[in-house]
A and B are shown apart, each in its own frame.
Chain A
Amino acid sequence: MYISPRNELSEFRRRYRWMRLFVFLTFLVFVGRLVYLQLINGDDYHQKSINNVIRTVSLPAVRGRIFDSKGRVMATSMPSHTLVAIPHYVDMGEGFARLVELLGLDEQQSRQMADKLNDYQKDLRDMRRFQQISLLENLAPEQLAAVKAHQDELAGIDVVDEPRRFYPYGEVASHVIGYMNEVNGDDIALARENENIIDKYRPGDLIGRKGIERSFEPELRGIRGWKKKVVDARGLSLSREKTKNLLPDASMQEPSPGYDITLTIDVALQKLTRQALSGHPSAAAVVMNINDGSVLAAVSRPSVDSNRMTRGLSYAENDEINENPYRPRIDKTLYENYFPGSVFKPFTAFAALEEGIVTPEDVFNCSGFHEFGGRIFKCTHSHGDMTLYDALVQSCNVYFYNLAEMTGMDRIARYAGEFGFGQKTGVGYNTEAAGHIPTREWYDKNFPGEFRIGHTLNASIGQGNTKVTLMQVAAAYSAMANGGTLYQPQVIQSIETPDGEVVKAFQPIIKRRVSVGKHNMDLVMEALVGVVEDEKGTANSAYNENVSIAGKTGTAQVVKQSRKKGDTMAEFYYQNRDHAWFASVAPVENPEIAIVVLVEHGGAGGEHAAPVGVEIARRYFDEIAPRHEAPLLADSPSDSKSNVRIPVEDSAPTTASAHRH
């Protein structure tokens, strides 16, 4: 056996045991750590690793469409693609250059995009770098194709489908339809507390803001779905095959689309109503089916295109709209209270007739004014001897002052109340004003000791403290024309599934039958025919022999204003001009529709509002509901030919009508 010079090694020999012990203990620590990580906390880390790679992607629910009564699309969702990024994973060198090349961006666009990404990337500790941000909205088809085809080269970049709301008719019915914008903190908090809302709102979601979009948000919205997909750390999707064992069984929930809504509005009528009002900067009109209360047109001018509102306004645009003196944001058919003026007179007449205070034959003399309690109550001019018929046709105030004196405020209020005045109509969209019908009690409560009969006189002609909305007037005139049934105005015909199955059909809602006798209503209706057709009628200047219409003009006084600094004379005159009303039903025989027109600061109702109402009626009979039988009043054969005309003015897409109706 060879003996090596081990003495030289003696210095080292005693160390090996300690080295072995040290190495062994160190490795024991590692095995201990593995036990801790893999065996003790393994489940926890396993879950974390799955969460790491599984990303839940929302699948947007397709919002319900809104159709008009003829099936024309008024609101729909268009497919749209947004380029998004998780900044952390975006390579700002080659990757970004490739992206710019694929999108075909110019230098300025690419610089803007780079700045945006850099903003998120510059600070390593900024958690926002892991948030999905949108880089480019509304991708063009070729951009979409380019990005999709080269997805694997674009780490951190993705395309998401974000349907955009589109309103083919723009501002035609924008107050009724409303618009959408992004949810705010309050919306999210409210929805969170509401058990009925299953699909809670998240930041970035859109919500209906006005009109039908807002009122029927729950029905239109649908419920979003989700899909779990396996991604790598750069957010790129991986094939299912490689990752099958990572995905849970339920990896997808289809979204359920929202319900479609069919309105009672007829866009063609809505359009022509707008056109009839086009000469007036600030005006409104309602056309209603008198036999069921459905709203066929509701126009408020001016208005803002729903597409523009949904897209979002710049500060400048927003200021411009807010400062517009004609108040484009206001729905003047519902939100605004107006003095009804003489449009109210039929209801004063009903009170007096029903209470037996006057007969149609009773005569009052109008000398141009009425003196009561030391005060002068004016008429437009001296009308002479007036019966009820004359007083309505010529809109004589003095006649109604006498009526009011005898009838009293509370009785007038009771009959007005029966016709729906002083209460919200419940049409169900937008903020609605209730209007106001004064009573003794109201005066005693709010102005103790100040009540005078003079207040009654003012109330009888629709002034003083009497306030109404256009929708109320339309409903009341409908009731008057249909024999006394007050319907609740409705704007929705039905709610359907996307396949067209009716979920809910809206039946006419009768609020009440008014207690006014048919003969009294016929009396008033007869006078309303005279308003238009009688030579002395206040609306006779608007008379068109081919148009069968009966109505009442009104001139609502506005609070006189002194000339403000900076106002031109034209503006000054405009502000002090009275509001012009025309409330009507058509045709005279077997009436179908009520047409209510209000022209703000239009002046006299007969001259400025009545022609609008007559024009709406004329075109309604021409274009919307052509008379197939001989016209009731006119017998011109050339006219009956033109009645066959089919509306051709609709340039907007009506594809939905093809398969729906």
Chain B
Amino acid sequence: MKQIYLDYSATTPVKEDVVKEMIPYYTEVYGNPSSLYSVGLEAKQGLELARERVAKLINAQPAEIRFTSCGTEADNWVLEGVADALKNKGNHIITSKIEHHAILHTCEHLEKNGFEVTYLDVDSEGFVSPEALEAAIKDTTILVSIMMVNNEIGTIQPIKELAAVAKAHGVLFHTDAVQALGNVPIDVKDLGVDFISMSAHKIYGPKGVGALYIRKGARINNYMHGGGQEARKRAGTENMAGIVGFGKAAELSMNNLDAHIEHCSTLRNKLWEKIQAEIPHVQVNGSMDKRHPGNLNVSFDYIEGEAILLLLDAHGICVSTGSACSSGSLAPSQVLEALGVPVTKMNGTIRFTVGDFTTDEDIDNVVEVLSKVVARLREMSPVTGKEGW
């Protein structure tokens, strides 16, 4: 059975060219980049090339890129690090209700430590409004953190406008761009943001490596304490192969960005058109206009998401319910809740994400299986066709 992977927002396969560049850093260029002999210096060279490549993808300076162990670490670092650096200036942080858990749970932790957090509402398509941000800023506000692209519904936030609001008040602005990187063009100079969280494994790079963009001069304290790595900003021996892989993935992404966006959005749009044509009682969540090119989040009436997921899996099709981080937990998605999606519909929601390896034929096959799966579960459901179920 051929596997059809439609969960690229959960993670991506590592591209062959990426793996090829990584391997020597395990076996030949195994030196510690902090060492001063040749195999160490050679590693250091690989590290700096990766930094340049990641910087280029977002139009930053290499010295503004600091590697981390993952996107979650970058999110933790920016919140804890800015809170710590500016605690004498204020204790107020603004974020949104639809952020990733890496932001929301870190904010909750900060709240326990005396910080005040405002969680901005979003509209029915998941957008944060610049006016709402403006209204929430106080004298004590030290940081605004709004994700660039939502992981569940794919909504692309007006980051440039939001960052401008923060800047006008002299407040630092962070955006979690883990889902955005490689899927929407990012230019830090144009966006005017101070910090960006990134991750390698969403752009066909390896797991276990991320980065934080820190605009030159932006105030932030360290989060990981120890050695002098990353210009004394992030301690810990570098995950060399991972970082090199991130760099190569960033380069490939940079060269392939337009084609990638075109490929994904074409297939995603086809998926949604076919679903609408063949399956009644469905709704898309989020905006079809400003959306991650590969993301489709659909609610299927009268049935439950995990059952859909399991039956698709039995046909080799990989999708997720809500976001991968909340599958396994029974709590409904806080993102769909913030959009005002009724709980009944939330339970029957599936996230599809297409990527570089998805084919036109895959979409045909998926919809063929999906329509049977949905029909079968609806036949089994006691609420099928009932008003106000």
Task: Decide if A and B are genuine partners.
Answer: no
Interface residues of A (CB under 8 A from B): none
